[in-house]
Structure 1
Amino acid sequence: MAGRIYTVAQQKGGAGKTTLAAHLAIAWAEAKLRVAVVDIDPQGSLTRWFQARDAAMNGKAGIGHVQINGWRTQREVERLAQENDIVVIDSPPHAETEARIAVRSANLVIVPVQPSPMDMWATQPTLDLAKSEKVAALLVINRVPPRAKLADDLIERIKTMAAESGADVAATQVGNRVQFAAALFEGRSVTESARRTRAAEEIQELAAEILKRG
């Protein structure tokens, strides 16, 4: 049976797409699932994180990794899905063709969105793309600041936008926490380097929530 394919997509850069992909991948690997990550973003940030991880762990990264783009992407993802329980695709922003291939290949599109007007407005094209490809989309409210009325108002607007687009919003929200970036610099995840923190709990909760969707 082929593994699940999760594409992390967002047309706007800086939404925390690669950060979310890396942390979720390790959370699933820690749950004893076979996981591979696919980097099709020309910036290659996920690849650099994986290289740092591979070096820090003496070649025992615990997950697979492929960096690829173009017409070979879908075939490679399908191959990885036969060998793994979960394949996580980090897709590029502002690249319609590459993003469409990544979305088309997925069982679920994970869309990180920060509670800001610019991020909310920029999310609609990704939701439209998922809808046109008939792939379910899950918005993850990401980098949430400490409780503030503006954030609360924007989160409600994001939920309304998702409902109007036929998408869901994850119950788990991810805070704006320094532990996420600090872990990535070490080639690790917060569930490894900051286990007893709310940051690690959020990633574990989100990973479990996504898996429950089937």
Structure 2
Amino acid sequence: MRVITFASTKGGVGKSTLAALCADGLLREGARVQLIDLDPQGTLTKWAEPIAQRSPALLTSRMAPIAGASFAQHYNALITILEDETDWVIIDTAGSDDVRQLAALAICDLVISPSGPVEAEVMGVQKTLRYLETALQEIGSTVPPMDMLRVVYQRPNGFPNAEMLVMRELIYDHFGAVDAIHQSAAIMSFLGRRMTTAEAITAGSDAAPFLKMQAAADKLTQSLRGQFDV
């Protein structure tokens, strides 16, 4: 079992969309995937639950906040809902600092933090890195936080201005990047379909945008597999 947490202290950066794309790619590879949604908006759950009813390879779970609970209680609560026979666990977090995100960062093998060439999103990655450091200290891990963090650079539509080019250079030079994902309208609306890309193509939807999404998902999952040499 490999656990991947999608996190950023900046909301609206595309964590849920990337988590769904990653799950989509892994499912098409034949993997058994569990999604754990910690985001109060439940965007990933709304996409995944109908699919889980049609596919036994996808499991969905939600963990509500535990009022007044400590880090250890949230961490243990996450452990109890992990499915032993799952190949990959994908955790989607809220765009904020909270103890559940801390637990999600502590329990995972890899952290994916999306960012476009925007200062607020880059700062969200930087804050997430510091939060990851705190999470690892909580469990006594000596793994360097940078070894666990991977940034997915989200290319904007159109031509970047000078400030965006500086932000892009910072993302690649300071953090490195797993892969670039184009912020197309098709990808941004992916979650609203309540279907996998393969189901959307079979249903008779215009195949072109979904084939592009499959290519993006495959590139991302192949890169993630490379992190674990599997």
Q: TM-score, normalised by structure 2?
A: 0.78
Q: Which moved more, 1:141-150 or 1:103-112?
A: 141-150
Distance in 1 (CA, whole Å) between partners of 2:41 and 2:91 is 14
Deviation at 1:5, TM superposition (A): 0.2
Deviation at 1:45, TM superposition (A): 1.2
Structure 2 CA distance for partners of 1:79 and 1:53, relative to 1, 3 Å: closer
Distance in 2 (CA, whole Å) between partners of 1:149 and 1:181 is 22
Contact 1:190–1:200 (Cα < 8 Å) also in 2: yes
Aligned residue among 51, 54, 64 for 1:53: 51
**Percent pairwise identity:** 22
Q: What is residue 88 of structure 2 aligned with on the other side? A: 86
Q: What is residue 174 of structure 2 aligned with on the other side? A: 161
Contact 2:114–2:154 (Cα < 8 Å) also in 1: yes
Deviation at 1:74, TM superposition (A): 4.1
Deviation at 1:125, TM superposition (A): 0.9
Unaligned runs of 5+ in 2: 67-72, 137-142, 202-206
Contact 1:4–1:81 (Cα < 8 Å) also in 2: no
Q: TM-score, normalised by structure 1?
A: 0.84
Deviation at 1:191, TM superposition (A): 5.6
Supply the RMSD in Å over aligned alpha carbons. 2.3
Distance in 2 (CA, whole Å) between partners of 1:192 and 1:174 is 22
Indicate the SS of the match to 1:188.
coil
How many residue pairs get matched?
Answer: 203
Contact 1:37–1:64 (Cα < 8 Å) also in 2: yes
Report the residue type matching 1:46 in the other structure: L
The structure having more radius of gyration, on CA atoms, is 2
Distance in 2 (CA, whole Å) between partners of 1:61 and 1:182 is 25
Q: Which moved more, 1:35-44 or 1:92-101?
A: 92-101
Distance in 2 (CA, whole Å) between partners of 1:114 and 1:186 is 24
* 1:33-72 alignment, distance < 5 Å: 33-54=31-52, 59-60=54-55, 62-69=57-64, 70=66, 71-72=73-74
Deviation at 1:39, TM superposition (A): 0.4
Deviation at 1:77, TM superposition (A): 4.2
Indicate the SS of the match to 2:54.
coil
Deviation at 1:18, TM superposition (A): 0.5
Q: Residue 203 in 1 paired to residue 201 in 2?
A: no
Deviation at 1:79, TM superposition (A): 4.9
Distance in 1 (CA, whole Å) between partners of 2:112 and 2:129 is 10
Structure 2 CA distance for partners of 1:207 and 1:77, relative to 1, 3 Å: farther
Structure 2 CA distance for partners of 1:144 and 1:189, relative to 1, 3 Å: farther
Distance in 2 (CA, whole Å) between partners of 1:190 and 1:178 is 15
Aligned residue among 11, 20, 28 for 1:22: 20
Indicate the SS of the match to 2:181.
coil
Report the residue type matching 2:58 in the other structure: I
Q: Residue 103 in 1 paired to residue 82 in 2?
A: no
Q: Which moved more, 1:145-154 or 1:135-144?
A: 145-154
Report the residue type matching 1:29 in the other structure: L
Contact 2:113–2:149 (Cα < 8 Å) also in 1: yes
Distance in 2 (CA, whole Å) between partners of 1:113 and 1:148 is 14
Report the residue type matching 1:8 in the other structure: F
Report the residue type matching 1:113 in the other structure: S
Distance in 2 (CA, whole Å) between partners of 1:130 and 1:59 is 35
